[in-house]
Chain A
Amino acid sequence: MLKLPIYLDNNATTPLDPRVLEAMMPYLTEVFGNAASRNHPFGWAAEEGVDYAREQIAALINCDPKEIIFTSGATESDNLGIKGVFEMYSQKGNHIITTTTEHKAVLDTCKHIEKLGGRVTYLPVNSEGLISLAELEAAMTPETILVTIMYGNNETGTIQPIREIAAIAHRHGALFMTDGTQAVGKIPVDVIADGIDLMAFTAHKMYGPKGVGALYVRRKNPRVKVTAQMDGGGHERGMRSGTLNVPGIVGLGKACELARLEMAADTERLSKMRDRLEKELLTLEESYVNGSREHRLPHVANISFKYVEGEGLMMGVKDLAVSSGSACTSASLEPSYVLKALGLSDDLAHSSLRFGLSRFTTDEQIDYAIGHVKEAVTKLREMSPLWEMFKEGIDLDKIEWAEH
């Protein structure tokens, strides 16, 4: 029997892989030492676990184990990377370039930078969610110290042209940082080949535990430094104080190792499943894929169903745990700013569903999801006056709707 509801919100968080839990268990029990305790075997054992995790992580993203700074997650890593560079390189300049479709951890940090007197350029994206390299090039100034652009988008899965972006940043003497939260562990990310100087990522988007993440900080060509944002014991080469979350770090390490070994197989299976889901749902009239279909993470599909209201749709797909493009917590709906940035109208942004598949998603679950969504959309359209008008050939844009 299929267990309901079906979890398809893996861009929000993934379940813990049992193999990751198994790796963590000893560090939650007998190996409890503080990795910073240099004077006894309890500390040494913990440190050994942390060092091994660094190697597992380094192998996934092709960096040196010493270049990994452990944090509490991607939000902290984004904060540390951006604020840390802004402070450290203040002599050189105060300009940062990012995009309008970044995660709030980046956007709100950039807003903070602006309050501190920094200047931030928010590059727009096209209808596929991609930035224009020419616009990036034009935005670069001698004061630009950092370009921070996400690898893969959390809502649409759109993958930015990372290597080209890094090359432009470097040509103008700026550092390149990327929020790799959704990409690391899902697609090959190689900090050397990609030209990444700093990268934020987290365990719980790749079958690891919550509460642990990392900031990759390049040590060579160039040697990058960030100003610590917390004062304390000077852990993590002075960039992030605080007793290391040893079980979490061990879990992140194991999750990275599994991702490295299973990425190819996972990608093939998940992209097939995702494509099938998408193809089936697109058989519904007036349904549209949001974001780039060519440059996209393999496990994500974001689809809008026109003439269906978002919250009603969410209620109709109650057997699925998915996200919608509308945050309706009050009388005034707030459509997703990411979808808006792609040029979607409010109603199309509201009526979108984001499907995020995982290593644990089955074909049977996808079959059910297809039927369930089709049924809900069809039923709601039969109930929708807008659908009826559309079918009658009435141009909805020409109707004078009551002021709300």
Chain B
Amino acid sequence: MAYSDKVIDHYSNPRNVGTLDKSKKNVGTGLVGAPECGDVMRLQIEVDEATNTITDAKFKTFGCGSAIASSSLATEWLKGKTVDEALAIDNMEIVEELALPPVKIHCSVLAEDAIKSAINDYRVKNGLAVLEEVKSHH
């Protein structure tokens, strides 16, 4: 399969690989996917509670190049966004940016799920209600 230059770039030089301290109240963690499906993404956000802004984002992904690139790109986009802006990220924006072929669209879906899951985790930790799944993907 031919990968786009952007996928190759994110795969070769992934941005924001790492781990945030999940015990902190202002860190939200999303873990999505399953090993037997070949994709597991963990995406974390650190939120400045005063401004509701994402100050840091980290990921670790077990998956193909497109999955790694999707999560790497997501962390880039998350930094500096407010939580509400982050919620608005749509998987098709990732598909477009990385020029993912149809068989790899599920990687972008997983990245979007990871973002929402991380935000929900943050919300629960801070006594806020869990947001309904915006989309049901699986």
CB within 8 Å of B: which residues of A? 307-312, 315, 326, 328-333, 345-347, 350, 382-388, 396, 401-404
Q: Is the CB of B35 within 8 A of A386?
A: yes
In the bound complex, residues from chain A placing their C-beta under 8 Å from that of B41 are 385
Q: Can you list 29 A-B pairs, Cβ within 8 angstroms, ordered by A?
A: A309-B67, A312-B11, A312-B64, A312-B65, A312-B68, A315-B65, A326-B38, A328-B38, A328-B64, A331-B103, A331-B106, A333-B38, A346-B35, A346-B36, A347-B35, A347-B36, A350-B38, A383-B61, A384-B40, A385-B31, A385-B41, A385-B60, A386-B35, A388-B19, A388-B60, A401-B34, A401-B35, A404-B36, A404-B37
Closest Cβ of chain B to A21, distance in Å, is 31
Interface centre among B35, B67, B106 (most CB of A within 10 A): B35
Beyond contacts A347-B38, A383-B62, A384-B60: 7 other A-B pairs, Cβ-Cβ < 8 A, are: A309-B38, A311-B64, A312-B11, A333-B38, A385-B40, A385-B62, A402-B113
Which chain A residues border B62 with CB–CB below 8 Å?
A: 307-309, 312, 383-387
Q: With contacts A309-B39, A309-B62, A388-B60 known, is A329 near B19, CB below 8 A?
A: no
For the complex of A and B, the 3 pairs showing the least CB-CB separation, nearest first, are A401-B34, A311-B64, A385-B42
Q: Choose one: A311, A326, A385, A396; the contact of B61 (CB below 8 Å).
A: A385
Decide yes or no whether B138 CB sits under 8 A from chain A.
yes
Residue B17 interfacial (CB < 8 Å): yes
Tell me which of B33, B37, B67 contacts A312 (CB under 8 A).
B67
Query: B80 an interface residue at 8 Å Cβ cutoff?
Result: no
How far does the Cβ of B73 sit from chain A's closest Cβ, in whole Å? 14
Closest Cβ neighbor of B34 among chain A residues: A401
The CA of A345 and the CA of B113, in the complex, are separated in Å by 26
Contact of A386 with B103 in the complex, beta carbons under 8 Å: no
> Judging by beta carbons under 8 Å apart, are B138 and A311 in contact?
no
Inter-chain CA distance A59–B132, complex, in Å, is: 73
Tell me how many residues of B have a C-beta within 8 Å of chain A: 31
Contacts of A382 in B (CB 8 A): 17
Max count, chain A CB within 10 A of own CB: residue among B3, B14, B40: B40
Binding site for A on B (CB under 8 A): 3, 11, 14, 17, 19, 31-42, 60-65, 67-68, 103-106, 113, 138
The reply to whether B34 and A383 form a contact with Cβ atoms under 8 Å apart is: no
Determine whether the beta carbon of B64 is less than 8 Å from that of A309.
yes
Please name all residues of chain A whose beta carbon is closer than 8 Å to the beta carbon of B31 when the two chains form the complex.
385
Chain A residues with CB under 8 A of B103? 329-331
Q: Kindly state the separation between the CA atoms of A332 and B34 in the bound complex, as whole angstroms.
A: 12
Known: A388-B19, A402-B138. A383 touches B68 (CB 8 A): yes
| Cβ 8 A contact of B63, one of A309, A329, A332, A346 | A309
**Complex Cα distance A387/B113, Å?**
21
How many angstroms from the CA of A330 to the CA of B60 in the assembled complex? 23
Give Cα A310–Cα B38 distance, bound, in whole angstroms.
8
User: Nearest residue in A to B31 (C-beta to C-beta)?
Assistant: A385
- Structural contact, A402 and B34, CB atoms closer than 8 A: yes
Cβ 8 A contact of B36, one of A310, A329, A345 = A345
Known: A382-B17, A384-B61. A402 touches B38 (CB 8 A): no
User: Using Cβ atoms and an 8 Å threshold, which residues of chain B touch A402?
Assistant: 32-34, 113, 138
Q: Which residues of B contact A404 (CB under 8 A)?
A: 33-34, 36-37, 138
Contact of A383 with B60 in the complex, beta carbons under 8 Å: yes
Q: Nearest-CB distance from B98 to chain A (Å)?
A: 14
Given the known interface contacts A385-B41, A386-B40, A403-B138, the answer about A315 and B34 at a Cβ–Cβ threshold of 8 Å is no
CA distance A9 to B90 in the complex (A): 40
| Residues of chain B within 8 A of A312, CB atoms compared | 11, 62-65, 67-68
Chain A: which residue is nearest B61 at the CB level?
A383
* A397 smallest CB distance to B (angstroms): 9
Residues of B near A326 (CB, < 8 A) are: 38
Q: Which residue of A lies closest to B104 (CB)?
A: A331
Which residues of B sit under 8 angstroms from A384, Cβ to Cβ?
40, 60-62
Expressed in whole angstroms, the Cα–Cα distance for A402 and B106 within the complex equals: 14
**B37-A333 in contact (CB<8A):** yes
Residues of chain B contacted by A328 (CB below 8 angstroms)? 38, 64
CB-contact partner of A315 in B39, B61, B64, under 8 A: B64
